[in-house]
Structures are given as C-alpha cells and as structure tokens.
Amino acid sequence: MRAEHPFEKITIVIPSNQSSFYIRRALAQKGLFNVDFKRLEDIAETLGGSDFSQPLLHDLQASEFVYESARDITLGPDLGGDEVSPQLHNALHFTFRELELLDSNQLDQLADQGGVFSELVNRFHRYMTLASGHRRGHQVSKRAAEIITSGE
C-alpha cells in the first residue's frame, strides 16, 4: 500500500489506547509514519453512534454510577454500603459490563439464586437506571454489528 500511496494515512485497529504507544514506536523504528490508530470502540461509535440521541456513557461516568449503586444501602449488605473499597468497585464495574450482555430472563435466573446474586442483580438494575440517559458501548457495538451485517 505504501508503495502505491507513499503519503496516505494508514489506519490500524487496536485493542486499547495504551497499545498504540508501543505499536507507534515499533512502526516508527521501521520507518513507517503517518499512522492513525482506532480502537474497536471508536469504529463502532463511528458506525452506529449517530443512531442514538443520548450522550455516550464514558468510563468515568459509568464508574460513578457503579459507585452510586454500590453505596445504596437499601440494596443489600454484602456488596456495598457506606464504605466501598476500590477492589469491590472495580469488581462490580467489570461484572456490570458482563451483566449487560444478559437478557432479563437470565438476570432473573441469577437473582433467583438468592443471597449475594439477588443483591448483585439489584445493584446492576440500579446502575442501569442511573445509566439510562446515556448510550452504552454494548448498545453502540450491537448497532454497529447490525449495520455491518445488513450492509447499510
């Protein structure tokens, strides 16, 4: 490609922003410049983000919503309360991302196991309520996949 278009920008899809620093340095050592990096999330946002009227839910805002759901003492005693450790906060944030992939029947089955599972699902529902005014990465990725599949 560089032989035919030596000054054209090349776009490389990367898994994270951090990886672009290493890859950019490695490519520069080989003499390859004018490279643009896009995360998969950025490509999904470019393809499907305009189909949503809500603002994008950024990680920092999502983290705050996770924290608020963890602090809600009405949701149970085991996974939060007044004191939320960084470890619990991170674990809930990771778990909520995974729970977003489940449908309501699967969430109900998980909650029906009782105990900590019921509390987890309740906290997840609280998080989703707080995040409802934003478009989430999962929604945008799903819409981008639909666009690609249908050829829109």
Question: What pLDDT digit, counting tens, does each position of 124-138 carry?
Answer: 999 999 999 988 888
Give the number of other CB atoms < 10 A from CB of residue 121.
21
pLDDT tens across 2-52, in order?
677 777 888 888 888 888 888 888 888 888 778 888 888 888 888 887 887
Give the number of other CB atoms < 10 A from CB of residue 54.
12
Q: Which residues lie closer than 8 Å to 55 by C-beta, 6 or more apart? A: 133, 134, 135
Q: Could you tell me the two tokens for 12?
A: 């490389």
Helices (H), 30-114: 40-48, 59-71, 86-99, 104-111
Q: Could you tell me the two tokens for 70?
A: 């963890």
What pLDDT sits at residue 128? 96
Say yes or no to pLDDT of 101 above 80: yes
pTM over 0.85: no
